[in-house]
Structure 1
């Protein structure tokens, strides 16, 4: 019965690997998404390493027009540069 749900499969087929070969295991898991409560929090890398992704929260924030114009003038990625500037301020100033 079709309820309008579609399933998307990976473009890569599963291939067998030697479970006793540490490099084969690392290659198999490299790039896997690490999730917590259904949310992606990182990406697996080789030999047990992983990279945590920065979780961003979308909000509405009133900013001065001159500040917005300054960052917009820097081109694509201007919102990330605002985030970087705020992160730098937070790390160098105590509350």
Structure 2
């Protein structure tokens, strides 16, 4: 009868030999919700922007988006400047 050949080292690790879990370990941990990775971001700002859906002409929206990332911020600044000049 043939003898079983060894298949290499065992990958099992005794949980008692595991290193202690430190604050650094948890700071670098990857949080998941199902298959989605939840990345911690900056804390919410106390004065957050309100969500609005203005009706813009398609050609105007296309031109704004063509200016690249940050176009919503630039639109916000343009509206703010217009209101500062024209508000009663």
TM-score by length of 1: 0.42
- The structure richer in strand per residue is 1
**Larger relative contact order (Cα-Cα within 8 Å, sequence gap ≥ 6):** 1
